[in-house]
Structure 1
């Protein structure tokens, strides 16, 4: 009986282990790493280097999760970059609706710890009215991405002290990208796609990125050079499942 009981216990443990780990994604969603592991990922809202200064609600893992057609389109974009010694880098993909609500709540509290880097010239209470933070985000539909371009082998994740995101490349946070004229998530007019104040190299890189993304089915967003939405997005409603490890 003892051996039978032990065998039963081991069987239960094995089955539990097989069923453990991350919950399955909703039908139609994939992990980008499973589609194209060569695309760089620096999922900012899963860590502390973002305008919140902490992980956002719903980001239980630093993983890019997307609707399958959006992930396939990013792979197409990366394939186009293969001969240019460049990689896509993604900063945000699917965003749980709870994170969107977290962002809005953050704009309503007086904390200013990340102002120097991310919103140096704008009152945080104005970030929703001005359109820098959405009360409802298309990221939550799984087909909107925040992306940039990095040279292959470029280091990312500098630990330099906070510097205004509108400072020139070499002074602001070094995210390893080509020069796009501002840092990622820079809540400032300089981040507008067609801002005339950025230098020619940055303006050219913005248009290069925009042309690439449009060629694989995404459309740009005028206020943010890094933000792209798949034109034929498969889902019209928002999701709120947590991002978990693969």
Structure 2
């Protein structure tokens, strides 16, 4: 989800000024060849440009979440599968930019790709909200890839929609998917659940480590 996820009603702003001070870990220090496609650090996202706070295409997570993700990745590799990460820790300033974007009804450039069946006014709420679980450092967005022999030639599996597709078809158990697409979503959910990650049912790509390592906190240090 671009903006929100279930969590505390009144998160506590964190005073940390750097990722290291916040306890955020670059996942590539644990899995150097982790596949990354950090959309908000570039132009390939629903806003159409780099998002405030994303100064580098990195995946940062609190230590326990990063370690759990490493275990998921290592388990999948035993079956010639791998993860591809779209987003991890998200600075609070990025969430504020999403809210501003959603309120700008004159900007409809990304509607055909990201919300073709919704009026932009409907995005505020279930899809985009002023507080995001991503800003607590234990939530991430990702997909599953099938790899060839030896772990090479990895290609994303068909999940039925793209990442950040604002539509009921993106619900993890949407009936508007093929049996193969549904099976791929459930395979991802099973692998993540095995290491303690909980899926957000409205988005097949969205997972949070449960229990969260720092549930009252809300971080705003930039990714760099």
2:23 to 11, 16, 28: 28
Provide, for residues 192-246 of structure 1, a one-character-per-residue CA deviation record: whole Å limited to 9, x for no partner.
01101100000001111001111101101010000001102111211000000xx
Partner residue in 2 for 1:243? 223
1:200 corresponds to 2:175:
no
8 Å CA contact 2:84–2:145 kept in 1: the answer is yes
8 Å CA contact 2:19–2:25 kept in 1: the answer is no
Structure whose alpha-carbon radius of gyration is higher: 1
Alpha-carbon offset, residue 25 of structure 1:
2.1
Work out the CA distance in 2 between the residues paired with 1:39 and 1:25. Answer: 20
Work out the CA distance in 1 between the residues paired with 2:129 and 2:123. Answer: 9
CA RMSD across the alignment = 1.3
Which runs of no fewer than 5 residues in structure 1 stay unpaired? 1-22, 156-175
Partner residue in 1 for 2:117? 121
TM-score by length of 2: 0.86
Equivalenced residue count is: 201
Higher normalized contact order (CA 8 Å, seq sep 6+, divided by chain length) = 2
Partner residue in 2 for 1:219? 198
SS in structure 2 at match of 1:133:
coil
* Superposition map of 1:49-198 within 5 A: 49-109=44-104, 110-129=106-125, 131-152=126-147, 153-154=152-153, 176-198=155-177
Which runs of no fewer than 5 residues in structure 2 stay unpaired? 1-17
Work out the CA distance in 2 between the residues paired with 1:177 and 1:82. Answer: 14
Work out the CA distance in 2 between the residues paired with 1:151 and 1:194. Answer: 21
